[in-house]
Structure 1
């Protein structure tokens, strides 16, 4: 009965407040980005343009506080407090996709707040694009099916065991995020007619931490952190150390910023003070990646782990450290329970709407 009461409470939030707040938040987002689009045409790049967009940066840090669900609130926080703010910072200094003077207002809005990146290479044959699109559809269909299986598996947590549950949790988060981001990218493709780069590149096939963080996991975040954090720190560190070792402080600085942004996102999700386990997760991975890069530079290709060894070691390391430092924060803010409640709430909402639509014609004929 207690679980049922929580589900009804989530339904009430969805119906009475969350959807309304969601619409208001995104209306404010598009209005603020429209201001940035037109103001950027007059404000010179650098400090003047930064001062122009600064009120919007503050607004985007505040808006996620008006949403409370894991899905609508969490994704909105990621899209505007992280992606949009970092892209606007790049826009202020005339770098990144928003700085292209030929970008129209609709494209500016989508590029600013959604995890999409226009493909630069347009010379691929059309039949290759069609084949790739079919493969992507099949991949997302399989992953959607797996999410359904995972959700059903949570009904048997007593029989599965805590360690296996956390491993399932890892794949649930990955599949869920990839499907949501793919839906956003598909919407942008349909509305703007542009080819988009994928957000993930099968991270479970990673052969090293450098491969995982640099080329496979959440590629959009990597592409944003590179010009705004990695490149400036790289230039600074190159003044004080040999060029060979200059990337190492830049890599670590990127993980420090990523840690801070993840702490902020988790605050939006749970509204509790951070325990900094998330920070330690990213600092640990930053140190390990710096060590990995340093060793690669030292041996200079003379020796390397076979991929059939380095691949499983990388995946096991990411999952193990995630279970140790990353997922406890999600558990504390009831991330899994709230997500499942929201699935139930959405299902009940669709069922109620469907029932109302079926009832209306019948009611009309009886009158």
Structure 2
């Protein structure tokens, strides 16, 4: 009886998911058809604002942790920022006037970025660490190993959750979160690139090798979000705060960027659990933003001096684990969002087993 309930619930959820994305694509088709015919600036902003508001509310039609989280991230977060940039003739939707409808829809609705062809001077200026050739072998093999690790973590968490040491639970949760996000975004990017014949920028760059928070957030973790926030928040804030003096423009822009990121993570939190945001995620990003600003000033002061690579990685990952446990995962644990995610794996496995 319970399995039948999950089956019907999943059918309803998938139907809502397809209707939601039909509305998203239809809205973006309107932007493509009429957006470029409206002069950029206030007029185009007024045209896209109703769609921006719609994209904020659409994830509320979904209750699945996984479907809701990816929709909230791609549409309410990235998609809305891309539309706001488009309103002012900036960003990935305005970089090429002759962009086709299919590419416009993909770039607007998915966490992808078109690769510059060729990149300026053959170098990636936004993410310098990507200019280094990888030393870890075939990407296919690497992601196959990561996929296997993800499957093992999911199996362990769903079957032995109550028997695992609480400290190990935190490690498994962080590992699950990282692998799930990376594998999902990489899969979306790979499928989109293959179907549309596009060359796309990488979405992640081995975040577990980060030597500082600045390195983690700016050059390794979720590069699509970093690029969009750089264009929509960091650069405008830096330009406006220059009146305070060049000493404060960069720190102000960094803290403002992390603050906005925190607000949008609170929105995604609300989409997933439907309870009033606690502010803890905003505090998490504000804390990291302030520390990144401090890091930059320390690097300017001490210049060439730095910790050995291994110690830097250990300190960075340690800081991330502590703050994730304290502020990021705490509200998700409190409202059992992670338990809901694990329940979806169990229900899916049961349905698959019955189908066989």
Same fold by TM-score, threshold 0.5 exceeded? yes
2:108 to 93, 112, 117: 112
Q: How far 1:158 moved relative to its partner?
A: 4.1
Is contact 1:43-1:49 (8 Å) kept? yes
How many residue pairs match? The answer is: 341
Among 204, 211, 220, the alignment partner of 1:216 is: 220
Contact 1:10/1:341, CA 8 A, preserved across alignment: no
Question: Counterpart of 1:198?
Answer: 202
Aligned to 2:325: 323
Q: What SS does the aligned partner of 1:40 have?
A: helix
Residues of 2 paired with 1:45 and 1:213: CA distance? 31
- 1:281/1:321 contact within 8 Å kept: yes
How far, CA to CA, are the matches of 1:227 and 1:41 in structure 2?
Answer: 20
Q: CA deviation at 1:132?
A: 9.5
1:340 maps to: 342
After superposition, the C-alpha distances for 1:173-215 in whole angstroms (9 at most, x for unaligned) are 0001111111111221122101111111111100001000100
Aligned match of 2:254: 251
Structure 1 match to 2:314:
312
Larger Rg: 1
Cα distance in 1 between the residues matched to 2:173 and 2:346: 18
Determine the structure 2 residue equivalent to 1:232: 236
Equivalent residues in 2 for 1:1-367, closer than 5 Å? 5=2, 9-15=5-11, 17-99=12-94, 100-122=96-118, 135-154=138-157, 155-242=159-246, 244-299=247-302, 301-352=303-354, 354-355=355-356
For 1:134 and 1:95, the matched residues in 2 are separated by 36
The whole-number CA distance in structure 1 between the counterparts of 2:146 and 2:261 is 26
CA RMSD of aligned residues (A): 1.9
Whether the 8 Å CA contact 1:269–1:333 is kept in 2: the answer is no
Determine the C-alpha separation between the residues in 1 that align with 2:4 and 2:329: 26
Q: Which sits farther off after the overlay, 260-269 or 53-62? A: 53-62
Query: Which residues of structure 2 form unaligned runs of 5+?
Result: 123-133
| C-alpha distance in structure 2 between counterparts of 1:39 and 1:134, whole Å | 46
